[in-house]
Amino acid sequence: MVDNPVYNKYRLNNELQPIIHQELKIIQKINSKYPYTLRYKPSDRNAYQQELQRAELDTKQLHAKLRIVAADSIH
């Protein structure tokens, strides 16, 4: 897990770990390919959105409160 100076009580929750891992993977891909811009190639943007959709599918399997937390994080 990446060190983060912001405290989040859900960060160590075992049920949220697959979603957190997926989000971090996407962020690392974006930062490595586009470190100084938010203008992505359409093909890359579609790939990132597909990966986020996979995370959303994992979110649907969570309990109500954790589902809300995960959905907010993805969006």
The structure tokens listed for 28 are 């690392």
pTM above 0.85, yes or no: no
Return the domain boundaries, the chain: 7-38, 40-74
pLDDT score of 2? 56
pLDDT interval class at 34 (50, 70, 90): confident
Helix pair 64-74, 17-33: axis angle to 10 deg:
0
Q: Would you give the DSSP letter of residue 30?
A: H
Q: What is the mean pLDDT of residues 41-47?
A: 86
Distance in angstroms (rounded) separating the CA atoms of residues 27 and 74:
11
Mean pLDDT of 35-57: 85
30-58 average pLDDT score: 85
Q: What is the mean pLDDT of residues 9-23?
A: 87
Q: For a pLDDT cut of 90, what percent of the chain falls above it?
A: 3
